[in-house]
Structure 1
Amino acid sequence: MSPEKSREITDLGTLKALAHPLRMKLYRLLFVAGAATASQLAEQVDEAASLVSYHLRKLAGHGLIEEAEPRSGDARERWWQPASDGVSIRDEDFRDAPEKAAAHLAASRLFVEQRAEMYRAYLDGRAHWGPEWNEAAHDSESLLRLTAAELAGLQKDLLDLVKKYDAEGRAREAAGDTEGRENVALHVYGFPFRV
């Protein structure tokens, strides 16, 4: 089965299924790998394969991942892949009840913590990436004066640009241009604040 476009998570059960620290890591690893087995993922997260398998079934039960075509001759191996090109979670879908709002807040905080953990791991290992990657990697902060509509427009423009680069990179990789290609995380936050 080929993955569908980005999936909007609008129900509390699916949000809670994804907003588990290990499940989010597994989902992210599957997204990067394209497909993997519980054993392969267990090695990456340093957990028992049985525990990883349990969490993969939970993600599958909510339609976040699905079984993939086997990539080896071992019929005992169960391969998994993301069921979509990603997920989106909008605040407006979780505002109508306190429990939903609290779950959305907890999930958002988990995602920010895991993204920060990824960036800290890069910083800790920066010396091993070499000058080319260290010059290309960036960290910036822009303090803008915008309306909510302008911020929404900026978000759309940035997302369109990210999708363009992703599509071009994947097409080049599919054509055999793999030299120097790495996984890259791009975290962008746009939010209002007052001083």
Structure 2
Amino acid sequence: MPERDDIPRPRAQRITDLDALKVFTHPLRIQLYRHLVTSGAATASHLADQVDEAVSLVSYHLRKLAAHGFIVEAPEKSTDGRERWWKVSAERGFSFRSGDFTDRPEGAAVVNEVTRQLLASRYERYERYLAQQAAWAKEWTDASFSSEYMPRLSVAELREMDEEMTALMRRWTDRGKAAVEAGDTEGRELVAVQMYGFPFRE
């Protein structure tokens, strides 16, 4: 199965440890991780407001993410030292391959659950966009897209396509990041691009 890079943004953090992958079986941890990617850094209080959960619960899940190295403290963001600031540890997010875990029943089950949680999270984001579409300017709704293609490929070609698409998205991600760092923020929004590639039979 092709590599999955969640929340694309150096190289994605490759998960090969089953206990580490289990961290993302919880949907709230996926939410918190994504908020840290988009915000750059945040405290438990800030994140609790974003996800509408108690600060104590958010702090617990942040510690779980930190225990496996997915996030680290960001003391440079603190002004008074009273609250911990957190940021993601890998600029390009995380990735995993099914083949690293499917040699044991529990591994296959965890991969399946994490994949389903990620899919549910992505679907929820797209559903939210559809519900709020009227609030966006016409230029944004005209530029938005949703596509499906069904090429007939070999395993090698599917892998090659994955590599090309990953390189393309990293180029656009780096372009947007460089523009923001240069102060070019006018007219820019976060854009979710979701792509899947898997075999099927009629």
Indicate the TM-score class for this superposition, using the shorter chain for normalisation. Answer: over 0.9
Q: Where does structure 1 lack aligned partners over 5 or more consecutive residues?
A: none
Look up the match of 2:6: none
Residue of structure 1 in register with 2:28 after alignment: 22
Aligned counterparts, 1:18-167, within 5 A:
18-85=24-91, 86-167=93-174
Shift of 1:176: 0.9
Aligned residue type for 1:184: V
Distance 1:100 1:72 in 2: 39
Stretches (4+) displaced over 3 A: none
Percent of residue pairs bearing the same amino acid type: 51
Cα distance between partner residues in 2 of 1:18 and 1:69: 25
Q: TM-score, normalised by structure 2?
A: 0.92
Q: Using the TM superposition, give the Cα deviation of residue 72 of structure 1 relative to its aligned residue in structure 2, in angstroms.
A: 4.3
Shift of 1:180: 1.0
Question: Quick check: 2:23–2:29 contact (8 Å CA) kept in 1?
Answer: yes
Q: Aligned partners of 1:76, 1:70: CA distance in 2, in Å?
A: 13
* CA deviation map 1:12-59 (0-9, x unaligned): 111111221100100011011110000000000000111101100010
Instruction: Please say which of residues 8-17 and 65-74 is displaced more in the overlay.
Output: 65-74
Match of 1:11 in 2: 17
Aligned twin of 2:5 = none
Query: Number of paired residues?
Result: 193
Distance 2:65 2:98 in 1: 21
Instruction: State the distance in 2 between where 1:174 and 1:12 align.
Output: 36
Deviates more, 1:62-71 or 1:103-112: 62-71
Counterpart amino acid of residue 30 in structure 2: M
- Bigger RCO (CA 8 Å, 6+ sep): 2
TM-score where L is the length of structure 1: 0.96
| RMSD of equivalent CA atoms | 1.3
- The alpha carbon displacement at 1:71 in A equals 2.4
Q: Does 1:173 align with 2:180?
A: yes
In structure 2, the gaps of 5 or more residues are 1-9
**Deviation, structure 1 residue 10:** 0.8
Deviation track 1:171-190 (CA, whole Å, cap 9, x = no partner) reads 11111110011111111001
